């Protein structure tokens, strides 16, 4: 199995070492063979992939520009719509849903020559931090098969780490790209809110959801984001800001003099080998000529509470449409007279169609939006969100970028935290602040823990955060670090 990159595929196609169809077939065969180990793919789409690859070969043979992602096998998280290919959100509720249109991100990837080879497993409706909440079973981490890959985009991270896909698309609401990237040892990018259209992304929390790429290196992640980004009239929240060449920003990646902030509130919670690796990474940045200083983000301690109020409230509203009448699974009628009542149909359909974590979040969200509690919880959480955003605004007046851990710990074992929601939610402590502020963030590998007789070496990622629409600066720092 060849671990291709976008560059190696581009060069191989140009030199006629292989065709796009041959690359697509190799990716599909590898996915078919390797998937039983990890359960990272939910379904493959060979007909779509081979047809798209044949079109790339036709263009190349005719001397027509085939696109920046020509021939690159790409996997798509199962909350992002793909026309004619089942999109289930890893839920029984949408087990048989076949979208009639593509998400804008998917359209743009294919317009750039990318080859969609399959849909990846995830936490149900993107709600989770371990990828154990899927109706189709958990995903296993390729780095350690008894460990989680992170969530909710664990399948998208795993297929890139494992090899069947060169890059993949995930979604991030509170860390669902960065944490799996860290756990699986790949690059994961959460762009500025609005930088990539959400049209065709099944909504979890609309004011927090992003689509972003996974890749095995920073250059590939930059190329994929560049292909997807930009204003979309189908998404009123997409930004009209011009999209620069992220790939060009990587050239001559001298970061001497760049001011790097390290939040004291983050590092006080970091312990063990994760903290040691982050400190070593910060030391490497200092050795590269960066000016490193401690900064304060004083509202950080309130972020978990604010995030889990806002995201569950928005989930409660967004998932109300899945009621067994308009959309989603409908419970079969029974002989019981009670089952024929509308209220019973709703209760049975949603009770059977949603898994435990989705139900938990819907109930929490419904509670904080209910009469008498809106001001006490939801409104207060939004005020805290504004304070968190202000913390970052103030910080970026002093520094160019912020560096922090992605997670307090590396990948944990499957089943270890699944029955402890509070412990699971706390795994997002370093990622949700950037999500609440809507700023671009990414995870770049910075080493691995030490293997022992009982535990394998596990990847650890360093998080880089920059100001709104400063992805170029973020990529430049990450690329310099990656190549140092």
Question: Max alpha carbon distance in the chain (Å)?
Answer: 74
Whether residue 106 contacts residue 200, with contact meaning beta carbons closer than 8 Å, is answered with yes
CB distance 113 to 56 below 8 Å: yes
C-alpha to C-alpha distance for 434 and 196, rounded to whole angstroms: 16
Q: What whole-number distance in Å separates Cα of residue 92 and Cα of residue 313?
A: 22
Query: For residue 367, with 0-12 CB atoms within 10 Å meaning exposed, 13-18 middle and 19 or more buried, which class applies?
Result: middle
Pairing mode, if any, of strands 187-190 and 441-448?
antiparallel
The residues with which 41 forms a beta bridge, in sequence order, are: 120
Hey, is 147 helix, strand or coil?
strand
The tokens describing 432, both together, are 């949700």
Which of helix, strand or coil describes residue 394?
A: helix
- 40 and 138 in contact (C-beta within 8 Å)? no
Task: Give yes or no for a contact between 238 and 200, defined as CB atoms under 8 angstroms apart.
Answer: no
Residue 294 phi, psi dihedral angles, 5° rounding: -75, 140
DSSP state of 10: H
User: Token digits for 315?
Assistant: 């989930």
Question: How is residue 423 written in tokens?
Answer: 């412990």
Find the helix packing angle between 104-111 and 218-228, rounded to 10°. 110
398 upstream amide cis, omega within 30 of 0:
no
CA-to-CA distance for 242 and 260, rounded, in angstroms? 26
Residues, the chain: 484
Supply the residues annotated as catalytic: 77, 152, 176
Quote the CA–CA distance of 424 and 129 in Å, as a whole number. Answer: 7
Q: How far apart are CA 454 and CA 102, in angstroms?
A: 45
Q: What are the DSSP calls for 411-424, one per residue?
A: PPBTTSSTT-HHHH
Distance from C-alpha of 290 to C-alpha of 419, rounded to nearest angstrom: 42
Handedness of CA 419, 422, 427, 428 (dihedral sign): positive
CB 301 within 8 A of CB 329: no
């Amino acid at each position: 199995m060849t671990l291709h990159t976008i560059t190696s595929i581009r060069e191989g196609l140009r030199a006629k070492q292989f065709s796009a169809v041959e690359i697509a077939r190799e990716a599909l065969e590898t996915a078919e063979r390797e998937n039983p180990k990890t359960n990272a793919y939910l379904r493959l789409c060979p007909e779509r992939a081979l047809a798209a690859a044949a079109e790339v070969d036709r263009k190349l043979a005719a001397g027509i520009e085939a696109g920046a992602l020509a021939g690159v096998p790409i996997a798509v998280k199962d909350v992002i719509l793909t026309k004619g290919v089942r999109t289930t959100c890893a839920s029984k509720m949408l087990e048989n849903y076949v979208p009639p249109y593509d998400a804008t991100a998917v359209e743009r990837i294919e317009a750039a020559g990318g080859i969609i080879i399959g849909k990846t497993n995830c936490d149900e409706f993107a709600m989770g931090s371990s990828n154990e909440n899927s109706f189709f079973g958990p995903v296993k981490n390729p780095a350690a098969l008894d460990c989680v890959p992170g969530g909710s985009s664990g399948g998208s991270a795993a297929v890139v780490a494992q090899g069947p896909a060169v890059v993949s698309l995930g979604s991030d609401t509170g860390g669902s790209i960065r944490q799996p990237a860290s756990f699986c040892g790949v690059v994961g990018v959460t762009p500025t809110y609005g930088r990539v259209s959400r049209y065709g992304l099944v909504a979890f929390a609309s004011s927090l959801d992003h689509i972003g790429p996974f890749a095995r290196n920073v250059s590939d992640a930059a190329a994929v984001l560049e292909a997807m980004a930009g204003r979309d009239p189908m998404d009123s929240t997409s930004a009209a800001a011009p999209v620069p060449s992220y790939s060009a920003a990587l050239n001559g990646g001298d970061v001497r003099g760049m001011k790097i902030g390290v939040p004291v509130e983050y590092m006080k919670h970091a312990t063990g080998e994760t903290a040691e690796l982050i400190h070593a990474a910060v030391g490497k940045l200092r050795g590269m000529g960066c000016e490193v200083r401690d900064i304060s983000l004083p509202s950080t301690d309130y972020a978990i509470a604010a995030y889990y109020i806002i995201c569950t409230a928005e989930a409660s509203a967004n998932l109300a449409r899945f009621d067994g009448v308009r959309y989603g699974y409908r419970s079969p009628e029974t002989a019981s007279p009670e089952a024929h009542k509308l209220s019973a149909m709703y209760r049975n359909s949603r009770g059977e169609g949603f898994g435990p974590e989705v139900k938990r979040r819907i109930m929490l969200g419904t509670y904080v939006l209910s009469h008498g509690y809106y001001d006490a919880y939801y409104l207060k959480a939004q005020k805290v969100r504004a304070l968190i955003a202000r913390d970052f605004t103030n910080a970026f007046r002093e520094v160019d970028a912020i560096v922090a851990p992605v997670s307090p710990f590396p990948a944990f074992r499957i089943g270890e935290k699944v029955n402890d929601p509070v412990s699971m939610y706390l795994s997002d402590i370093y990622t949700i602040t950037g999500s609440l502020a809507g700023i671009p963030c990414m995870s770049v590998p910075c080493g691995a823990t030490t293997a022992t007789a009982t535990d394998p070496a596990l990847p650890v990622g360093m998080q880089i955060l920059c100001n709104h629409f400063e992805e170029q600066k973020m990529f430049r720092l990450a690329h310099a670090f990656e190549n140092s």
